Structure 1
Amino acid sequence: MRKYLNIDLKDQDVKIDEIDGEDVIVVGRHLIAKILLEKNIATVDPLSPDNPLIFSAGPFAGSNFSNANRLSVGCKSPLTGGIKEANAGGTFAFAMGQLEISGITLNGASKDWVVIYINKDGRIIYDDATPYLNKGNFEVAEMLLEKYGDKVSLGICSPVGEYGGLISGISFTDPEHRPTRIAARGGVGAVMGSKKVKAIVIDKNKMP
């Protein structure tokens, strides 16, 4: 049994679904395509609030199995207009698995720039992202680690993503807390920027 988080950025609300069986196993690219087709995104502007941004982790995420902690990030691509899945390493999927989160969908767009913090108790907190805007990924990572501690994983929208650069990706922290693992394909960073989400911070629940 795992959880799926559907986050409404406009209202800062979240719907948490309990999932099991095939819904935990058949994820990644398949899940991204399924969600986007169900939402009928063919005619949706990729940089509009109607384009969901999806983070999907595998069934063994949070464990030490080889390749278990890859992350799929997907949306309608602002580059191609098609369904796009970008894959990344790092610790983000591991942190999701540690909190028994299978996936996260960001729906709509925030009025103001936010950092989304998912803590080890499952609470979702929206913090002001103004201090982190127009700064490079490494500087932002240092600032976020100072605020939230080093038992977290980060997903960061770059300055290029803030301005809607269509080749921008989303950076994730590696085991040394550096934002060096990137979901780089399809302009997913521009979609994150269009939603005014500067970063997602997730507690690593079982880390000492």
Structure 2
Amino acid sequence: MSVSGGQPSLRPDAQRNRNRILTTARELLREPGDLRLNAVARASGVGQGTLYRHFPTREALLAAVYERDVAELVAAAPDLLATRTPVEALAAWFERVGAYARVKRDVFAALEAATWRDLADHSLGPIGDAVELILRAGRSDGSIRDDVQARDVIVLISWLSRLDDDELDARGPVLLAVLVDGLRAPRPTSAVAER
């Protein structure tokens, strides 16, 4: 299993089917009970044969759902930095972390321990790189503390996947805002005195 998305190139119609299956599976993960492949195929509007060509097992489908979420989360970091300040990019990236945490929790709950540990191990590098990209930009412009490393941020946000949906909705945004504020570089005392 690779979070790098190392899949062979697909025909456009096959890629559309794969994307539709992954999107549907991600949505169905939120529903109670086990994720069933025939329900995913039906809700995706594809035949079971098409689903099995892309994902021969339920575990392969769940792993792909998780890997796609990781890839989208990682890809968001440079995009956000291109249009926002580092602190604004970090805050916006944390909003995406909340959605990622739900998927991670649901996928890992549905997989055997050995499989989800492998997925988690493979995602730490790319996610850490995305966090470091934002932190480095903030350190460079002086807006983010220079004593915080990507691993520190990952440890702090890891609790999100342990929350149920209601608590994640209620507490997640506030706690992530507190984290963003804690990552801001302290303002020089002279700037505070000038106010």
Query: Which TM-score bucket, shorter chain as reference?
Result: under 0.3
Larger helix percent? 2
- TM-score, normalised with respect to structure 1: 0.26
Structure number with greater Rg is: 2
- TM-score, normalised with respect to structure 2: 0.27
